[in-house]
Amino acid sequence: MDTSLVTTIIETLRTPVMFVVVLSIVVFIHEYGHFWVARRNGVYCEAFSIGFGPELFGWNDKHGTRWKVCLLPLGGYVKMFGMEDQPTDEATGEPREFTEQEKSVAFNEKTLGQRAAVVVAGPAANFILAIVVFAILAMAVGTPNSSSLVGEVVAESAAEEAGLAEGDRIIRVDGTQIATFEELTTAIRPRAGDELLITIDRGGNMLDVLATPKTRTIGSGDDVQTIGMLGVAAARDTAGPFVALWQGTHRTFDTTVQIFVVIGQIITGERSAKELGGPLSIAKWSGEVSQAGFFVFLNYIALISVNLGLINLFPIPVLDGGHLAMYAAEKVRGRPPGPRFQEYSLRIGLALILLLMVFVTWNDVMHHDVFGIGG
């Protein structure tokens, strides 16, 4: 087969395949959180599904749970006995009460605390996944060192052409003292195309080199900027397991805060809601980060996992947060909200989710010019 054809096929399939991989991983972890806590609270789980629609393949475990992969890989679910369906009489087809044996394994017969634990376990599993992934990255890749020590020289960059090497410490740029990587960036960005005298410390020896930062354009529309790029990356400090776990937790928390900040800016009008992305954006980035290396791909999975966990905690019926809101109302009232209230809440929640999906998908269509109508 023609090599160019094989390459074209691989590149064409990369984006949808990696989208399915990313989504399947974060959804599996989310649903497994529900499943694991449900099982430990005595709830019978009838099915664990990745995807929706017709089953492609599956198997039954020793507890009777059907594990399956379905045709449409756009989510997943755990079907728990007694969570939604009322049992029916086999002879008449009419609804009936749970038997004592069924009550012992039915979700809705569990205590309020047990039900809340099962529901919150899904988002919690996503946050745990992010913490673990960020911790792995902290141990394997490390975090950028704040000093002016060069950790990597980009190929064909101004730094490579000037003879800079990994391990060099940048001391001065055109006479300006440099102590941190942030100061180096500040000194280089406005000097695109200018020849600069850079003083470096190489193993205790002071050397002067000449470098001309290359020009790079960032931003779009009215926010286009031209900046200078030297082509060096900061040295990175790796961490031990305990420090890495702390760093992973801290980064997960920071990512969560950043999401709230963006949401707040959209609500106040500081940012446009058109920036919100949907499935097409996730698919696009999944394909791109998969080409940037394994650790970059891992980082992206962690970010998507935080987003999925947080979104599911929003108090919207249909989402986990909506169920938790119902349980909070049950705790205050001493009894669950009535069936009619729950039914209308679910309808409203489903409508909101569908509207949001339509909106972000339209944003995707416009941003990526899917049908040649984008701006």
Which pLDDT does position 316 carry in this prediction?
Answer: 85
In a domain, 100, yes or no: no
Judgement on whether residues 150 and 117 belong to the same structural domain of the protein: no
Structure token pair of residue 77: 């679910």
pTM of the model: 0.80
Domain residues for 209? 144-237
Cβ neighbours for 247, distance < 8 A, ≥ 6 positions apart: 134, 135, 138, 143, 239
* Mean pLDDT comparison of 191-205, 279-293, 326-340, highest-scoring range: 191-205
155 against 35, higher pLDDT: 35
- Contact 357/280 with Cβ under 8 angstroms? no
Judgement on whether residues 157 and 229 belong to the same structural domain of the protein: yes
Judgement on whether residues 120 and 212 belong to the same structural domain of the protein: no
Which pLDDT does position 330 carry in this prediction?
Answer: 87
In a domain, 344, yes or no: yes
Whether 31 is catalytic? yes
In a domain, 151, yes or no: yes
Q: What angle do CA 299, 301, 307 make, to 5 degrees?
A: 110
Judgement on whether residues 19 and 122 belong to the same structural domain of the protein: yes
In a domain, 78, yes or no: no
* Mean pLDDT comparison of 129-133, 206-210, 276-280, highest-scoring range: 129-133
In a domain, 85, yes or no: no
Please choose, from the candidates 60, 67, 104, the residue with its C-alpha nearest in 3D space to the C-alpha of residue 82: 104
In a domain, 93, yes or no: no
Question: What's the pLDDT band for 351 if we cut at 50, 70, 90?
Answer: confident
- Give the pLDDT mean for 240-266: 90
Structural domain count, the chain: 2
Judgement on whether residues 118 and 232 belong to the same structural domain of the protein: no
d(CA 15, CA 256): 26
Judgement on whether residues 312 and 222 belong to the same structural domain of the protein: no
In a domain, 350, yes or no: yes
222 against 216, higher pLDDT: 216
Q: What is the pLDDT of residues 130-161, one digit of tens each?
A: 999 999 999 998 887 778 899 889 888 999 99
Judgement on whether residues 25 and 117 belong to the same structural domain of the protein: yes
In a domain, 167, yes or no: yes
Q: Which of 11, 31, 46, 100 is flagged as catalytic? A: 31
Judgement on whether residues 192 and 301 belong to the same structural domain of the protein: no
Judgement on whether residues 37 and 127 belong to the same structural domain of the protein: yes
Judgement on whether residues 136 and 148 belong to the same structural domain of the protein: no
Provide the CATH number for the domain around residue 203. Answer: 2.30.42.10
250 against 102, higher pLDDT: 250
